[in-house]
A and B are shown apart, each in its own frame.
Chain A
Amino acid sequence: MNRAEPLVLGIETSCDETGIGIVRGRTLLSNTIASSMDEHARYGGVVPEVAARAHLEALQPSIEAALAESGVALADLDAVAVTSGPGLAGALMVGVGAAKALAVSLEKPLYAVNHLVGHIAADILDDQAPPLEYPTVALLVSGGHTSLLLVRDLTTDVELLGETMDDAAGEAFDKVARLLGLPYPGGPEIDRAAASGDNTAIPFPRGLSRASDMAGHRYDFSFSGLKTAVARWVELREAAGEQVPIADVAASFREAVVDVLVTKALAACRDYGVPRLLLGGGVIANRRLREVALERAAAEGVTVRIPPLSLCTDNGAMIAALTSELIMAGRAPSTLEFGADSTLPVTEIQVAESA
């Protein structure tokens, strides 16, 4: 195995994107994504069984497309990589089954890795950015997760500082969009509606931000109370026969989400004396979130890194990138014994490393 610049194919199926990535060392060769998002639209959220079926159909064509794009032959690979978790169990299993069979058929080593740590590794593939410095605080926000991490070393030391206690931020966007009568996915729709709104119009609550919450949940998030507050506000207006100012509701709701995310991330930077913040996950596509993060981080002397958006959403390239780092760090492959772990803790960067 080439440990200096390994050629790795990564398979990611933890949610609704079938991601196949191919990297050589730290160079991105292909980031192929097939999304089943359209199939979920009419349900207003990701339906696990629909996602899993779509993965099974998308895997082979996606692998073929990634190989064609990168000009790589499967026989040339140094290793196969796959997401073991966290994510939707049935969806993860499709990737795990495929990755194991691919690795066995090619007689190549297999690495089973952590999806969340993969989101951080995505940053390494950004050839425009200076090398990732440690430690860094990482804020990962998507429809499936909202996590605040302290990364001392990508391959050995990632600590969970906090995570959402209920809905992921992306889910909150979807649910609030739904109750405003806006289509799925909610993020871009809320953004569009918010463009003409006043984000200070309605003082929606900031979850887990009271002094009494801060002792136990300083870095944790909660968005379900916010969603309920929006629903209540809208219902009261309707009951009173008033027009609901969709733009103001959307802008004020979005501001509440963004405010909590950025406030807690920067608090972690301050508390741990880490002047670096890495953003990842699909919700980073939200312009207002990026804007507020950059503005407030700059005021506190914190440098913000944001990988290209195509690497922020779930993808296989980040799984390949993380594995490439593991290989370059001398790590042994995983055994074939692992399964899908829908609640895999972020501290388990690699699963089932062989002795």
Chain B
Amino acid sequence: MILGIDTSLGSAVAVVEPDGVIRSEARSLDPRGHAEAIGTLLERAMAEASVTPSDITHIAAGMGPGPFTGLRVGVAAARAFALGRGLPVVPVVSHDAVALELLLHSALTADWGFVGDVEDGAAETFAVVTDARRREFAYTLYRGIDDDGLPIRVAEPALVPRDELDAVLAAAGAKRREADRIPAAMLALAAARALSAGRTVGPDDALYLRSPDVTLPHAPKRVNLPAASGRAANGRSAAAAPPAPAVRGQDPA
């Protein structure tokens, strides 16, 4: 039994059988409040699936991309749950869950052109697009589904300024598929398929895609001499002075 956990957008937990049968999915669409929600979602998902922690065999962890403060809650929870029961963590790119859902849906609705046969070129390229905050989107390009039933990533997750997304997708010939939630059941399903194929499909570390925010270097603030005096305090150049840290308590994303 696979427990899927993702907090890269909202918060979601699901229980899926190894053969892909979805037993439960519990979610909160709140784009914040991941730390508040995660414990209750874990309990709810297991209760609705009528399983206990000892029935779980694998943890599927959504590794992002996503705003980091929230994303980390799910990754931390996935690792801690796994540690508690001595289970393996199966990392999954969160966008893969959305892609899998889209591909399965199009297969079910007989929209064969969308799933397509990759080899004869009928498959459509599409981009899973999620909010990355700070006027950026996170996107990943997909094209069809492979023999293991996993979505084929044709480009790895990346960030793009919001107003440049459409141009980037047009250049790639990809359709824009925006998602406001990550389906944890699809995340667990992707993990189940990766496991049965003996493949690793996600990264070990969270997909932050951004370096930590740090206020850029500046010299210690001068307090009583005109800044234009042409000589930095202590005779040190401004560039050589250590940068100031970000403000305590401030969280960038």
Residue A205 at the chain B interface, CB threshold 8 Å: no
Residue A101 at the chain B interface, CB threshold 8 Å: yes
Residue A104 at the chain B interface, CB threshold 8 Å: yes
Q: Is the CB of B221 within 8 A of A93?
A: no
Q: Is the CB of A231 within 8 A of B68?
A: no
Contact check: which of A44, A90, A97 meets B38 at CB < 8 Å? Answer: A97
A102-B38 contact, Cβ under 8 Å, with A46-B245, A59-B76, A178-B220: no
The total of interchain contacts (Cβ-Cβ below 8 angstroms) comes to 190
Q: Is the CB of B251 within 8 A of A88?
A: yes
CA distance A343 to B250 in the complex (A): 12
Residue B223 at the chain A interface, CB threshold 8 Å: yes
Contact check: which of A100, A144, A228 meets B77 at CB < 8 Å? Answer: A100
- Kindly state the interface size class of chain B when it binds its partner: 35 or more
Q: Is the CB of A48 within 8 A of B72?
A: no
Main secondary structure on A side of the interface with B: helix
CA distance A96 to B244 in the complex (A): 28
Residue B230 at the chain A interface, CB threshold 8 Å: no
Q: Is the CB of A43 within 8 A of B39?
A: no
Residues of A within 8 A of B243 (CB): 42-44
CA distance A340 to B34 in the complex (A): 10
Contact check: which of B35, B38, B223 meets A232 at CB < 8 Å? Answer: B223
Residue A274 at the chain B interface, CB threshold 8 Å: no
A231-B84 contact, Cβ under 8 Å, with A60-B79, A96-B73, A107-B53: no
Query: Smallest Cβ distance from A351 to chain B, in angstroms?
Result: 11
Q: By CB atoms of chain B within 10 A, which of A64, A144, A178, A337 has the most?
A: A178
Residues of A within 8 A of B246 (CB): 43, 47-49
Contact check: which of A43, A235, A339 meets B245 at CB < 8 Å? Answer: A43
A105-B214 contact, Cβ under 8 Å, with A234-B233, A337-B40, A338-B36: no
Residue B126 at the chain A interface, CB threshold 8 Å: no
Residue B66 at the chain A interface, CB threshold 8 Å: no
Residues of A within 8 A of B135 (CB): none
CA distance A337 to B35 in the complex (A): 9
Q: Which residue of A lies closest to B52 (CB)?
A: A107
Residues of B within 8 A of A107 (CB): 52-53
Q: Is the CB of A48 within 8 A of B84?
A: no
Q: Is the CB of A235 within 8 A of B35?
A: no
Residue B122 at the chain A interface, CB threshold 8 Å: no
